[in-house]
Structure 1
Amino acid sequence: MALTLAAAAELLDRHHLLREIIQGDCWTDNAADLAGADEPFTAITYDTRKVTPGTLLCCKGRFKADYLTDIDQAGLAAYMAETEYSAVTRAPGLIVNDARKAMSLLSAEFYGRPQDELTVIGITGTKGKTTTAYFVQAVLNAYSGGRAALFSSVDNCLDGHTYAESDLTTPESMDAFRMMREAANNGMRYLVMEVSSQAYKVERVYGLTFDAGAFLNISPDHISAIEHPTFEDYLYCKRQITHNCRTLVLGADCDHADLIRQDAQASNVPVTTFALHAADGHGTHADFVALPDASSGYLFQEQGKAIGDFSLELEGEFNAANAAAAIALSRAVGVPAGSEAFRALEHVHIPGRMEHYESGNMVAYVDYAHNYVSTKTLAEFVTHKYADRNPRVVVVTGSVGDKAVDRREGIIKGAQDYADRIILTAEDTVHERMIDILHEMQGYITNPRVVSDIELDRAKAIEKAVEDAHAHADRLTILLVIGKGEERWIKVDGKHAPYEGDDHVVKRLFGLLND
């Protein structure tokens, strides 16, 4: 059904969001009082520059009346906003209590509720969302013949095989429903998506119920004036997935698991759990487990029965736990326990995640690790893996500006007990000076054996790490280049500046580039 002014008003009123409709001197709660109320909108946007004849404009965020100058000449059909703008446009305005909630509902309707044509899986947690999402998509693609779409912080995939770099972990609601429509039109049966805390904070997934949701884990992150003021707020936002899914997969060892179970019980949502077990089989009881076996792979079990014995391309026990979560989610949406589709887990590769390179006395890992948990987990993994070679560890890292200020200390805390040297370098920033951020991070280093220095040029920082390895040629040096992965840009003063890419720099310096 096409979205009209009348249909939009009815939808918003049903969700207790509509205050009134205003057009000039006419203030009404009945769209039938206005001419053209049953004319379908031809487009929907939140960008005034994209208004064309018949467009519904959603005014969100710090919207200003000035943005609507001459908008009638572009053919604006109607606008939705928390403030009326009849002084600058003749178009009718749907005045609402919450523009972001309203935009999500209106976008879903405009694009024909594509979520109803897809089985939608949502994944949240502080660590492991991307890896778990890729694992689930791989299994569902194998099971459905390539008909699983993906929204992730690394890439989006709308046709089961073509991947394009994403801008946000969870897209803006209007973009998400537009992409869902494209995926459904492409014949996709499934959509796997990461769900960030910000997605719930700013209503990007308002009105969306996941067929299966996952809550992997929780630890402090994204704490800043422009994200979450406290850990409590961060956790509260992430907990909303429990109330907005039909079944929940929960990390059995997740902090505050009891509270999340209470959420699920209050919403009548069934819960299954996953966990990583020790090699001796001991560990937290869970419905789905990953158990290390003698062949360096993992035996995955459901309620004690084998799902399969798989060797993962992605290293680390934490990735085995993510695979167990992926199996639980796949089973929740109907993949049979005996399906060969689970073998797809063995071939999952994620650009910029645990990229592993070797040259002479050097081993390098390029990874998106960007907070305390992910940095510590990676550092622990490499020092354990190479313990018999008495390695030196050199970490190349920075931290983003203007947000997630807690990460600056967290990255250092996660790295300093494993690192011999920390080279601090550029990351994304908008207003904050990067040199100030790096000096702040340097101030958090309390381990006296750690050497630290600052090199703003990220490529030169990696070069310094390689030079350090050459200077200690008698020992193995492990380079951990973290934060940017395979991104080909760095945000400088809020704008994307071209960058070679951490992976490319390492391969160039290691002599691994193909001609």
Structure 2
Amino acid sequence: MEKILRFVEKFIPKQVYKFFQPLYHIFLAILGMIIYRMPSRHIYVIGVTGTKGKSSTVEFINAVLEASGKKTAILSTIRFKIGDQTRPNKYKMTMPGRLFTQKFLRRAVNSHCEYAIIEMTSEAARFFRHLGIHMDALIFTNLSPEHIESHGSFAKYKEAKLRLVKQLARSDKPARLSIANIDNEHGVSFLVYPVERNIGYSLKNVKILSETQVSSIIEYRGTRILIPLPGKFNISNALASLTLASELDIPLDTAKKGIESLSIIRGRVEKVDMGQDFTVIVDYAHTDDSLRKLYEAFSNSRKIAVLGSTGGGRDSWKRPVLGKIADEHCDEIIVTNEDPYDENPMKIITEVASGVSKHKAHIIVDRREAISYSFSLARAGDVILITGKGTDPYIMGPNNTKTEWDDATVVREELKKYLER
């Protein structure tokens, strides 16, 4: 089917394709639902949406469900998982199109998975990839400006997100749940649709007992829980999974066991340790809010930022903003390449660096060289924060050319060289 669709597309003029694009994607969604026999009707589907924290929340939910003995499937920016089988997501998109999600759900059903946890994006909603997915629950993490160029405005971006909760309301599943982070000003917008349960969660519901560079300890409903990842944003992500666990009648002690078992989430505050006397963190943070919160999680340390911004006309407004945030929170700043697409990498880098005023911005176009150089700036106890790509498998260049890439792998390779000098 994939080959047939690609073949047919070659013969459709671009302007005609653009005009009929919405109908085309709706057709594909319906076609996938029919071909794969509506698999979402036969599995408990949990959607996770928001600007940030989606992938981490998916992993927290999965850990809680697995601790309760459930067989799960995951579709996220980081990975695809069905039962014990997992593979990295190398599509450079969270929800691939062309029937992918329906096929994935059918495989999950055939493998006797009880739960499917799906990371749902505004881009996927814009292309109707959510149609035909009958959800049981939707988790909303937060909302802040992102993908403005592709959507046209923040209002349209938010509306794309709201399509998902409207889809939940149309689902014929029993006991539908809408769970939203009400610490975010847009959270209540996801709690007004006709589903069986609308539930808000907030950091006000927990007592934060301690925070370090590697973890936090909270008290939730009288129980002490170790959150094995740093930052208040990860406490919030874990709280989403605890809220869902309560609604699914999973005992709190079981949910606690699941959360505390989660040692690492690839590309999400991922620590790379090869015995060096400084800390290296790889993180996907690529919005102003996520970058600020990441830096704040390491507020007591001297910080070295390695950052850039994406090209291709994507959210160009935020480039100097990212530089300004790094300038406000970090002691050394290295601006480098990320995903230039068809733009001049130096133009993007210069726009990011324009937000840096208090410190000198070290401009190094080659991302590997930038990472290597950051080690030479580090003192014992420093924290190097390499942001923007996380687990992204490629650096995207002109005409959608792809250069294989993995930040954490490159960090290990360059750290090895550094430590052997």
Normalised-by-shorter TM-score class: 0.7 to 0.9
Task: Please tell me whether the aligned partners of residues 222 and 406 of structure 1 are also in contact (alpha carbons under 8 angstroms).
Answer: no
- Indicate whether 1:196 and 2:126 are aligned: no
**AA paired with 1:354?**
V
- Indicate whether 1:480 and 2:389 are aligned: no
- Indicate whether 1:367 and 2:283 are aligned: yes
Distance 1:184 1:431, change over 3 A: same
> What are the equivalent positions in structure 2 for 1:43-442 lying under 5 Å apart?
44-45=1-2, 47-48=4-5, 64-65=11-12, 98-145=23-70, 147-167=71-91, 168-172=93-97, 174-224=99-149, 227-245=150-168, 246-262=176-192, 264=193, 267-268=194-195, 270-276=197-203, 283=204, 289-293=205-209, 297-299=216-218, 301=220, 305-306=221-222, 308-332=223-247, 334-338=248-252, 340-348=254-262, 349-357=264-272, 361-384=277-300, 386=301, 391=302, 393-402=303-312, 403-442=314-353
* Structure 1 unaligned spans of 5+: 1-43, 51-56, 68-80, 84-94, 277-282, 284-288
**AA paired with 2:243?**
A
Task: Please tell me whether the aligned partners of residues 191 and 199 of structure 2 are also in contact (alpha carbons under 8 angstroms).
Answer: no
**Mapped partners of 2:109, 2:208: distance in 1:** 38
Shift in Å, 1:442? 1.5
SS at match of 1:121: strand
Q: Which residue in 2 is equivalent to 1:9?
A: none
**AA paired with 1:381?**
A
Summarize deviations over 1:373-412 as a string: whole Å, max 9, x none. 111011111124x3xxxx2x22111111112323423422
**Mapped partners of 1:486, 1:96: distance in 2:** 30
Instruction: Flag the structure with more relative contact order, 1 or 2, with Cα contacts below 8 A and sequence separation at least 6.
Output: 2
Please give the TM-score of this superposition, normalised by the length of structure 1: 0.72
Shift in Å, 1:481? 0.8
Distance 1:198 1:429, change over 3 A: same
Larger Rg: 1
SS at match of 1:106: helix
User: Which of the pair is proportionally richer in helix?
Assistant: 2
Q: Which residue in 1 is equivalent to 2:403?
A: 497
**Mapped partners of 2:294, 2:47: distance in 1:** 25
Task: Please tell me whether the aligned partners of residues 82 and 99 of structure 1 are also in contact (alpha carbons under 8 angstroms).
Answer: no
Task: Please tell me whether the aligned partners of residues 201 and 237 of structure 1 are also in contact (alpha carbons under 8 angstroms).
Answer: yes
Shift in Å, 1:338? 4.1
Distance 1:441 1:514, change over 3 A: closer
Distance 1:338 1:422, change over 3 A: closer
Task: Please tell me whether the aligned partners of residues 156 and 166 of structure 1 are also in contact (alpha carbons under 8 angstroms).
Answer: no
SS at match of 1:218: coil
**AA paired with 2:377?**
D
**AA paired with 2:209?**
D
SS at match of 1:220: coil
Summarize deviations over 1:288-313 as a string: whole Å, max 9, x none. x3322369753453xxx44x422122
**AA paired with 1:313?**
P
**AA paired with 1:495?**
T
**Mapped partners of 2:229, 2:272: distance in 1:** 13
Shift in Å, 1:64? 3.3
Distance 1:316 1:413, change over 3 A: same
Q: Which residue in 1 is equivalent to 2:412?
A: 507
**Mapped partners of 1:486, 1:169: distance in 2:** 12
Please give the TM-score of this superposition, normalised by the length of structure 2: 0.87
Q: Which residue in 2 is equivalent to 1:11?
A: none
Identity of aligned residues (%): 25
Shift in Å, 1:440? 1.5
* Structure 2 unaligned spans of 5+: 169-175
**AA paired with 2:371?**
I
Q: Which residue in 2 is equivalent to 1:444?
A: 355
**Mapped partners of 2:5, 2:23: distance in 1:** 19
240-249 or 164-173, larger mean C-alpha shift: 164-173
SS at match of 2:329: coil
Distance 1:340 1:111, change over 3 A: same
**Mapped partners of 1:297, 1:441: distance in 2:** 32
Summarize deviations over 1:52-111 as a string: whole Å, max 9, x none. xxxxx7x6xxx63489xxxxxxxxxxxxx999xxxxxxxxxxx99822112111211110
Shift in Å, 1:351? 1.1
Summarize deviations over 1:157-200 as a string: whole Å, max 9, x none. 12344233242212215110011111111111110011101111
Q: Which residue in 2 is equivalent to 1:455?
A: 364
**Mapped partners of 1:323, 1:512: distance in 2:** 36
Distance 1:139 1:464, change over 3 A: same
Distance 1:259 1:498, change over 3 A: closer
Distance 1:223 1:355, change over 3 A: same
**Mapped partners of 2:159, 2:201: distance in 1:** 22
SS at match of 1:417: helix
SS at match of 1:394: strand
**Mapped partners of 2:22, 2:259: distance in 1:** 45
Task: Please tell me whether the aligned partners of residues 375 and 418 of structure 2 are also in contact (alpha carbons under 8 angstroms).
Answer: no
**AA paired with 1:379?**
Y
Task: Please tell me whether the aligned partners of residues 72 and 115 of structure 2 are also in contact (alpha carbons under 8 angstroms).
Answer: yes
Distance 1:331 1:185, change over 3 A: same
**AA paired with 2:55?**
T
Shift in Å, 1:363? 1.9
SS at match of 2:68: helix
